[in-house]
Each structure stands twice: as C-alpha cells, then as structure tokens.
Amino acid sequence: MPDLLLEFLSEEIPARMQAKAADDLRKIVTDRLVAAGLTYEGAKAFATPRRLALSVHGVLARHPDIREEKKGPRVGAPENAIAGFLKAAGLKSIAEAKIEKDAKKGDFYVAVIEKAGRAAIEVIGEMIPEVVRGFPWPKSMRWGSGRLSWVRPLHSIIATFGPETEEPEVVAFNIDGITSGNETRGHRFMAPGAIKVRRFDDYVASLEKAKVVLDAARRADTIHADAKNLAFAQGFELVEDAGLLAEVAGLVEWPVTLMGTFDQAFLAIPGEVIRATIRNNQKCFVLRDPQTAKLVNKFILVANIEASDHGKAIVAGNERVIRARLSDAKFFYDTDLKARLEDRLPKFDGIVFHEKLGTQAERIARIVALAGQLAPVVGADAAKAERAALLCKADLLTEVVGEFPELQGLMGKYYAEAQGEDEAVAHACEDHYKPKGPDDLVPGDPVSIAVALADKLDTLVGFWAIDEKPTGSKDSYALRRAALGVIRIVIENQLRLPLRLQLWHHFGAVGRDEALAEAIAVLHPLQEQIVELSATDIELAVKLEVLVSEKSKRLTGPVLVQAHSHLRQSRDLLAFFADRLKVQLREQGARHDLVDAVLALEGQDDLLMIVRRVEALAKFLETDDGQNLLAGVKRASNILRIEEKKDNKSYAGAPDAKRLAEPEEKALAEAVTIAKKEASAAVAKEDFAGAMSAMAKLRPKVDAFFDKVTVNVDDGALRENRLKLLNEIREATRAVADFSKIEG
C-alpha cells in the first residue's frame, strides 16, 4: 500500500511552536484521510527550525466503488411521488431507473446509484491545500504580495505518494503560487542545494547527508549526550535543563555542541543569577563541580554549523557576549547590595498595584498587618512575621529582579541575608511565594507561612472586593492558584485557620477606610443575623443602624451597608475556597459526594477540619455499619421527603416520649439521643472517628425500627410522632455530615 510524504519548508519556525505543529499536522491529515474513507497503517510527524514533515504509511490507494440500490414507488404511481424519487436518487428521468417485478404487490422502480471510487492521490491533492490554509499556528503571518498565512514565509512543499516498490508520484496541487513537488533543501549554510526526494526513507537519509537531523528527539539526545561528555571530560557536570534542551533542539538543524569559558571572578554572583543570565539571554547550559555542586566558569553552547575553524570564532563570540551579560549582571548585583531593602520601600508609594486597590505600599502595609494577626494562629513570632512581610516585596525594585523577574523572592532572600536579617525573615522573602504550582512545596517555617498566607489572602480579598473574580478559563490574577496555595499551606501544615473571621475582617483593610473597618468589627458578632438580609432592601441601612446603635453612634448607614456587602462577598469567597478544596480533594482521589456531604453542614470554614471529616466519613462508609446506617438514613429521608410533601408541612422537632409505643421505637429514640450527645461531644473534641463510632451504634436500632414498625399508620398523632423520630435520625447524623448528599 502506498505511503504519503509531506514536507513544508519555510523560514525559521519559532522553537516553542514546533512540537505542537508536528503533532497537529499528523492529527489533522490522518483525521481527514480517515474521514475520506482512506485508512492508513501509521503516521509520524517531525519538525526542525525550517521544516514540518509528515510520513503516513500504508494508505489505501483508492477508496472502493460504491453501488447502492434505492427502492422507489410502484410503477404507475402519482407524478409527484415519481418526481420526489428522481430527486432523491439523483436521476434525470424515470427511464434511468430499473423496474423490479413483483407479482403480489405490483412492479416498482429501483434506482441504481454507482459512485466510482477515487484514487487517494486525487483526494489528498484536494485535501492538503485546505490543511495548509486552516493550519492552527498560534500566530501566523502573510508575506510578499500573497494572501496565504503560515507561521513564517512558506517556500516549498514536498508531497509524494506511492507504494514502496514503485517510483512515487507527486501529489499535484498549488497553494497561492507554491506548486507541490519532490524537492527540498538541506542545511541553510552547509548544504543549501536542492535535494530530490522519493519517499520517507531516502528523504531522511538525504537530509542527514545535507546536515539536517529531522527528528527533534534525536537532536535533543545528541545535544544532551555531547554536552554531558564535554562536561565530563573536564571533570564537570551538566546542570540539567529539560526546557532549555527542548528549546535549543528547536533552534538548530545540525547541532554542534561547544564549550566556552568566562572569567572566574563572575562566580561571586549568585549561581541562579549566572544561570538565568546564560540560559535566558544566551540559551546556553551551565556546568557545576560535582563535588561542591557549585557552578564553574564554563558554559555549553549549541551551534548550528560545523564551522571551518572548528568553532573557534563561534566560541570566542559567545564568550564575549556572555562576558558582557555577566558584567551587567554583576553590576546589577553589586548595585543592589549597596542599598538596604527597607530603604527601597518609599518607592512603592508611587507604584500602583491595581487602580482600584491602591499602591504597592498600601498593599504591603496590609500584608504586614495581616501577617502580624496570623502569626499567633500559625505559631510564628509576630515581630518577625511583620518584618518579613515588610521586606518580602522589596526585591521587586532591585536591578537583578528587574532583569530576571523569575528570580523574585530568591534575590530577596540573598539581599536580606546580606544585610543581616534573621534567618526566618530572609527565608520568608523567598518562601512566601510558595507554592508556585501544584508540584511546588509549601512553606514550612511559621514566619514564611504567616507571610505566604497574608500575601495570598490579601490578593484574594482585594480582587473579590473589586469584583474581579475568575470566570471560566479567565483568571488573569491567578486567583485559583492563590486559593489553592492557601488550602495546601493550611492542610499540609495542619493549621487551624477560621477563614470566615479572617476574610471579612480583611475586606475592611482592603477598603482603606477606618470607618469601614470599625463597622465590620462592630457587626462581626451579628454576622449570622445579618448575612441573610437582602442587599436590595431599601431599609437595609436603617436595620443595620438599629442593630449597632448600642455600640456605636458614629457608624452611618452607607458604611454599614458597605460592610454588609463585604460580608456577602466574604461568603462568596468562602464558597470559592470550598470549590477549590473540592477540586483539590477530588484530584487526590477523595469522593466528591463526601466532600459535598461535609460542606453542606453549617459554618464549615475550617479547611483542616473539613478534610478530617471527609477522611473519617470515607473510612466509616467502608464498614458494614457505615453502609447500613447510610441506607437507613436514606430510607428515613426518603419517607420524610414524600410525607412532608404530601402533608405540606415539616416534621421537625423532638418526638413526644409518651407517644412512643413499640419497643423498637423506644429503643431508637433512646439511641438517637445518646448518639447525638456522643457524636457532638466527639466532634467538639475534633474526634471524627469517634463521632462515626457513635453513629455506628444507631445502625441496629434503625434496622430494627424499619423491620418492626410501620410509620404511616392511621392514628395521625402516632404517625406524626414517628415521622419526627425519623427526622431525628437525619438530624443526629448531621453532626458529622449531610448523609442525603452521599451517593450509593
């Protein structure tokens, strides 16, 4: 069966786009082949800086002829029936239809539709121009006077098709002046001549001869192996960098790995700064001493040619550029060390953090205050937490971070250490940004924790206050990451952080208004009472004024209304945390319904306790007691739901002990009272396993009750009492979770 070879030769394709483009090409072409009825055996795609190539082997040479018979109306049917048939079958006149004899029902017409199969090469020839025109480059462009769009100007296209044993044919097409053919070019400098190609095998071999390695993985392997060998030969070790390796492999067609040197004196700069300089600006690798793990004054560069002077000029040129870059870096670093971090702070007065959230200086002041408040909660020294919060953003104003934003935090740590700050304070300058992603560690030192939480909570509350919440895929301020960071810090450090209290309070700080902060403080004890008040209530201000009138005469309606609106926002933010927690727990394999069952309880704002409850609940449900109790509670809930709907009333409230008739219901009532008490006591001690055991004791009583006792009896009073008893089961289990939310 024939093979298809495609190559698109263009000007230099950005390294970061190559892998995905190869993958897209393979997927789009093979999907379209299959959609056209042309199956294939396998496909491989490749990318270099100048070409995108695809080999599809074992393609069907043509799709088969299609013969189809369509049954029509009987002979002599009304005219419009015949006309409809002709139209549906695509016939010009009824003479083109066959007549099928049928003695019983009468003769009828049959249309025979025959579609000749088409040669695959024709189908492909029509398909490829469409693929080119619709190719999903992240960014594409026009050039010259043409209208075609490609990532960079497209120069030629190879398209050959044919079986292994024969000379393949060129798949003929023309796109905007580019005619498909069987010719490509080799390396831009070392073998720029034309190369005739037949099929994939000789294509790869000819390119290799023309100093082009088609396969990116092979180029990366070569670079990696050569770089390691070069390093090893001099007693050094390559600092691995998979991202850089992939990028460099996308910048060359013929990798030539060379080693260069820089002045030893530059090693006085922190290693990360040297690496960032050499990596980001020059796309070169750095090396270290395997004994000390410190960088050495060598670097590895990857050239695209075998130069006639064996790379002497290339190495010398790169060394000069790196010398200049490191001189800059050293100058930046030395300059930075001349100023103390706190002396940089006044500059933050003039830097806007966000139009609606004030300056960086104001934000830092909030973080300082919040870190101080959180310090005792997380076991940190408040003075150190405040000091760390004050300094933690100062490195943003340093030269090195200006040049390499990715070194923010790390440089803060170095500069804090250099000016003799406490070790915990210095580390917080770096660690308060953590966790930076799902794979990053969370900070473990209490001072870092306090600052990290303060930083993230301030961000979240701030953007909630100005209604810049993430929507769908849009999360410009990385608020999901911030919330997840808070969740992970709290859970992995086993912290108790009552979010409800912290959040609303901080809305006051973000508001930059003393009266607002006071209003929140005064309203705080009343929050459950006022949270349900409608924000659109025209009497809201008056109601709130009356509520606080004893404590403060100073607070006016508008400020109270604003405090109330922040309360609603804080509840919304709390729900956002619950949502992120659900996602997080689900990713760790927890059942989402158990998370829902716990979150459905009132006042769940303690992340660690939520997780503990979910864990205990999951364990409990793995036992027979758990499963059976769940079945019992569900049965009770179902009966209640139906009866409550029928009677249009709710059966809340304690059952009347005097009306308990059967021994099973007496036993159940007693057991419920005990279970409730024990479970609450256990929950109060945060012993969720204990609470579950208390619940487990209910199970035989519930089972016996359902076995022996009929709920819907004729005696109305007795029925009501029994329904109330069922409600008590539901209520009792709510000490640990809302069982109605649990599936199964």
Query: What is the contact surface with another protein in residues (CB under 8 A)?
Result: 11-12, 14-16, 49, 139-145, 151-153, 155, 189-190, 251-252, 282-284, 301, 303-305, 307-309, 313-314, 316-318, 320-324, 327-328, 350-352, 355
Least distance (Å) between residue 245 CB and another protein: 16
Least distance (Å) between residue 47 CB and another protein: 14
Please count the CA atoms within 13 angstroms of the CA of 705 that sit on its side-chain side.
Answer: 26
Q: Buried (b) or exposed (e) across 391-412, using 16+ Cβ within 10 A?
A: bbbbbbbbbbbebbeebbbbbb
Tokens 């926002």 appear where? 569
Question: Of 323 and 634, which CB lies nearer to another protein in the complex structure?
Answer: 323
Question: Of 282 and 623, which CB lies nearer to another protein in the complex structure?
Answer: 282
Question: Of 319 and 644, which CB lies nearer to another protein in the complex structure?
Answer: 319
Least distance (Å) between residue 400 CB and another protein: 16
Q: Is 170:178 a contact under the CB 8 Å cutoff? A: no
CA distances 484 to 4, 96, 178, 579, Å, are 48, 71, 51, 10
Least distance (Å) between residue 192 CB and another protein: 9
Q: Is 483:577 a contact under the CB 8 Å cutoff? A: yes
Short-list 621, 609, 736, CA closest to 676 = 736
Question: Of 321 and 541, which CB lies nearer to another protein in the complex structure?
Answer: 321
Least distance (Å) between residue 142 CB and another protein: 5
H-run or E-run covering 66: strand 66-74
CA dihedral 230, 231, 234, 237 (to 10 degrees): -160
DSSP 551: T
Question: Of 149 and 680, which CB lies nearer to another protein in the complex structure?
Answer: 149
Question: Of 152 and 635, which CB lies nearer to another protein in the complex structure?
Answer: 152
- Measured CA to CA, the distance from residue 141 to residue 121 in angstroms comes to 29
Instruction: Look up residue 70 and give its two tokens.
Output: 């369509």
Short-list 472, 668, 487, 667, CA closest to 588 = 487
- Measured CA to CA, the distance from residue 517 to residue 513 in angstroms comes to 6
Cβ-Cβ contacts under 8 Å for 481 (sequence gap 6 or more): 437, 475
Question: Please, which residues bridge with residue 5 across strands?
Answer: 55, 160
Other C-beta atoms lying within 10 Å of the C-beta of residue 298: 18
Least distance (Å) between residue 165 CB and another protein: 37
> What angle in degrees, to the nearest 10, is found between the helix axes of 663-684 and 688-696?
180
Reduced 3-state DSSP string for 414-468: HHHHHCCCCHHHHHHHHHCCCCCCCCCCCCCCHHHHHHHHHHHHHHHHHHHHCCC
Question: Of 145 and 536, which CB lies nearer to another protein in the complex structure?
Answer: 145
Short-list 566, 567, 594, 570, CA closest to 581 = 594
Which of left, alpha, beta for 293 (phi over 0: left; psi -120 to 50: alpha)?
A: left
Q: Is 431:485 a contact under the CB 8 Å cutoff? A: no
Least distance (Å) between residue 209 CB and another protein: 18
Least distance (Å) between residue 387 CB and another protein: 28
Least distance (Å) between residue 22 CB and another protein: 17
Q: In angstroms, what is the C-alpha Rg of the chain? A: 37
Short-list 157, 162, 206, 153, CA closest to 180 = 157
Least distance (Å) between residue 150 CB and another protein: 10
Least distance (Å) between residue 307 CB and another protein: 5
Question: Of 217 and 313, which CB lies nearer to another protein in the complex structure?
Answer: 313
Question: Of 12 and 241, which CB lies nearer to another protein in the complex structure?
Answer: 12
Question: Of 85 and 353, which CB lies nearer to another protein in the complex structure?
Answer: 353
- Measured CA to CA, the distance from residue 658 to residue 637 in angstroms comes to 24
> What angle in degrees, to the nearest 10, is found between the helix axes of 216-233 and 242-249?
120
Give the three-state DSSP class for 69: strand
Question: Of 176 and 656, which CB lies nearer to another protein in the complex structure?
Answer: 176
Question: Of 34 and 351, which CB lies nearer to another protein in the complex structure?
Answer: 351
Least distance (Å) between residue 9 CB and another protein: 12
Q: Is 523:563 a contact under the CB 8 Å cutoff? A: yes
Least distance (Å) between residue 494 CB and another protein: 41
Q: Is 682:690 a contact under the CB 8 Å cutoff? A: yes
Question: Of 249 and 388, which CB lies nearer to another protein in the complex structure?
Answer: 249
Question: Of 14 and 690, which CB lies nearer to another protein in the complex structure?
Answer: 14
Q: Is 469:478 a contact under the CB 8 Å cutoff? A: no
Give the three-state DSSP class for 329: helix
- Whether a cis peptide bond, with omega within 30° of 0, leads into 435 is yes
- Measured CA to CA, the distance from residue 141 to residue 147 in angstroms comes to 9
Least distance (Å) between residue 351 CB and another protein: 7
Question: Of 152 and 591, which CB lies nearer to another protein in the complex structure?
Answer: 152
Instruction: Look up residue 73 and give its two tokens.
Output: 């109306």
Question: Of 282 and 419, which CB lies nearer to another protein in the complex structure?
Answer: 282
Least distance (Å) between residue 41 CB and another protein: 35
- Measured CA to CA, the distance from residue 316 to residue 324 in angstroms comes to 12
Short-list 646, 666, 660, 650, CA closest to 731 = 650
What's the burial of 93, exposed, middle or buried (CB within 10 Å: 0-12/13-18/19+)? exposed
Question: Of 401 and 540, which CB lies nearer to another protein in the complex structure?
Answer: 401
Least distance (Å) between residue 599 CB and another protein: 41
Instruction: Look up residue 432 and give its two tokens.
Output: 């308060």
Least distance (Å) between residue 331 CB and another protein: 8
Question: Of 74 and 155, which CB lies nearer to another protein in the complex structure?
Answer: 155
Least distance (Å) between residue 473 CB and another protein: 23
